[in-house]
Amino acid sequence: MDLLPADLSIRADCARVEQRLQSPNAVDLLVNNAGIGARGMFLDSDLAAEEEMLAVNVAAVMRLTHAVLPGLIGRGRGGIINVSSMAGFIPTGTGASYAATKAWVTLFSESLSMTVAGTGVRITAVCPGYTRTEFHYLIRDEPVDVPRRLCLRAATVAQAALAGNRRGRVLSVPGRTYRAAALASRLVPRPLLRVASARVAGR
């Protein structure tokens, strides 16, 4: 299949990808990986950049999923992996709207997995923590000080996502520490979670 370069923040480009995904037997597995991070605090950020982030992190995921799903359901097989984030589990004062886009991706994936139950189509949200990629340099211009044991490799995240989807897992959180944090984020009362998140951000 030919490559199809597209800027997913542009509606017309996204529509070309949707059209490709609607063609018969286009794909067995859609991976919604494209994502943009937030630069700094919401109040200081450029509104156009915020809108671009929403277009790529949310609207494109929704549109491409909508395009591919009927074909997958019709064939009774295949899957969708949505690359979400640990950020979607935890409220944060920095990058507030990024966290919100990822919370959307996770809940969308979980909810959609219920919609497609019994069709043979598997939906997985993969929720990585800190992963060594260009991502952090693009939003900060400087190296991020993250303890080594918390750094994931992109290959580890990709393998966990693929294995999770093959096994029909709706949520995949790579790495033991992050799995514990994800569980804690669901058990700890929200006010306490906000305090802990602010402490970690201010360290």
Minimum distance of ligand NAP from residue 69's CB (angstroms): 20
For ligand NAP, the closer CB: 15 or 138: 138
10 Å Cβ neighbour count for 130? 17
Task: Please identify which residue in 26, 27, 29, 34 interacts with ligand NAP, judged by CB under 6 A.
Answer: 34
**Region binding ligand NAP by CB under 6 A among candidate stretches 21-29, 33-41, 68-76, 193-201:** 33-41
Using rule CB under 6 A, residue 131 touches ligand NAP: yes
Q: What is the DSSP letter of 55?
A: I
171-172/29-32 β-pairing:
unpaired
Minimum distance of ligand NAP from residue 186's CB (angstroms): 18
Minimum distance of ligand NAP from residue 118's CB (angstroms): 29
Candidates 98, 130, 137, 178; catalytic one: 98
Measured between alpha carbons, how far is 152 from 160 in angstroms, rounded to an integer?
11
Q: Which two tokens stand for residue 10?
A: 């542009």
The question of whether 130 is a catalytic residue gets the answer no
Using rule CB under 6 A, residue 18 touches ligand NAP: no
Using rule CB under 6 A, residue 138 touches ligand NAP: yes
**Region binding ligand NAP by CB under 6 A among candidate stretches 3-11, 21-29, 165-173, 190-198:** 3-11
Contact predicate 38/10, CB 8 Å:
no
Selection from 125, 149, 155, 152 nearest residue 136 by Cα: 152
Contact predicate 29/81, CB 8 Å:
yes
Q: What is the DSSP letter of 95?
A: S
Measured between alpha carbons, how far is 129 from 105 in angstroms, rounded to an integer?
15
Binding site for ligand NAP (CB under 6 A): 7-9, 33-36, 56, 83, 85, 128, 130-131, 133-135, 138
